[in-house]
Structure 1
Amino acid sequence: MSPDIFYVEDDPDFAFIMQYAVKEVKEDLTVGIVEDGNTAIAHLQRFAEEKHRPKLILLDLNLPGISGLDVLKRIKEIPFFKYVPVILFSTSDDPKDVKSSLEIGANAFMTKPNGYNNLIVCMQSLYDFWFNQNRSIN
């Protein structure tokens, strides 16, 4: 079974904090976290084979091995994930990164907030839009 949110994040501390922030937003939301692009692609291929889709994919830009942009390209090559929103979630706020991400097919690009409370507010906004307001065939 795939998680509600599939998160690719190489910083274990931030990933740990993210899990708590998501639970503060909605207790029963599940988050699956992997630390690099190769592992992310392997998990996504397995999800596709098993016909399980996450409802949202959060993708860090700067990953070891395969970059977040390369993972995004691979996600977009898998027809099963065509309608799954992919959000680049990075410390970068470089307009070139934003442009590249959107050109490849990201649904949005967000800069990671500073501080736990700001992260909760950010996750609440993501949840409100992508899980409640956005109409998806997912």
Structure 2
Amino acid sequence: MQVSPDIFYIEDDKDFAFIMQYAVKEVSDDLTVSIVEDGNSAIAMLHRYAEEKHRPKLILLDLNLPGISGLDVLKRIKEIPYFKYVPVILFSTSDDLNDVKTSLEIGANAFLTKPNGYHNLIICVQSLYDFWFNQNRNIA
């Protein structure tokens, strides 16, 4: 039986995804992360989650993905009613204001630029954890 991950992370950079898993575990050993490497796999997995009534608490989405873009993945996520209230955070190397604006217009809950260095990643993940898992209230 598949279990809902706390964080569903769509990231094509395998090295960064690997480091991210360590950062998440360093912040909270109880958090679970599921990682997929492209938009098509992400959409397929999310449809499977919806069918099985599994819902991640947070979706982290890279902007620049092979195949369909992060923005297109975001649009598709927002079309799945089961995930209507799941926060989606764009997490990208981009700091282009047009990317930020477009992401928020489509329905992203936030846009974060990936930090440089492991220490800064820990700080970023800690902030995500503090807000989205402890302070924010959600009905999902």
TM class, shorter-length:
over 0.9
Q: 2:53 aligns with which of 51, 54, 58?
A: 51
> SS where residue 50 of structure 2 aligns?
helix
> SS where residue 10 of structure 1 aligns?
coil
Q: 1:62-116 deviations in whole A, cap 9, x for unaligned?
A: 0000100000000000000000000000000000000000000000000000000
Q: 2:6 aligns with which of 4, 28, 33?
A: 4
> SS where residue 130 of structure 1 aligns?
helix
In structure 1, the residue matched to 2:78 is 76
In structure 2, the residue matched to 1:94 is 96
Query: What amino acid sits opposite 1:95 in the alignment?
Result: L
1:53 Cα shift?
A: 0.3
The CA distance in 2 between the partners of 1:4 and 1:18, in whole Å, is 14
The CA distance in 2 between the partners of 1:97 and 1:72, in whole Å, is 12
In structure 1, the residue matched to 2:125 is 123
Q: 2:25 aligns with which of 20, 23, 26?
A: 23
Query: What amino acid sits opposite 1:83 in the alignment?
Result: Y
Query: What's the TM-score once normalised by structure 1's chain length?
Result: 0.99
Query: What amino acid sits opposite 1:34 in the alignment?
Result: V
Query: What amino acid sits opposite 1:44 in the alignment?
Result: L
Q: 1:22-81 deviations in whole A, cap 9, x for unaligned?
A: 000000100000000000000000000001100000000000001000000000000000
> SS where residue 55 of structure 2 aligns?
coil
Query: What amino acid sits opposite 1:124 in the alignment?
Result: Q
1:131 Cα shift?
A: 0.3
1:2 Cα shift?
A: 1.9
> SS where residue 59 of structure 2 aligns?
strand
The CA distance in 2 between the partners of 1:29 and 1:134, in whole Å, is 16
Q: How many aligned residue pairs are there? A: 138
The sequence identity of aligned pairs, in percent, is: 86
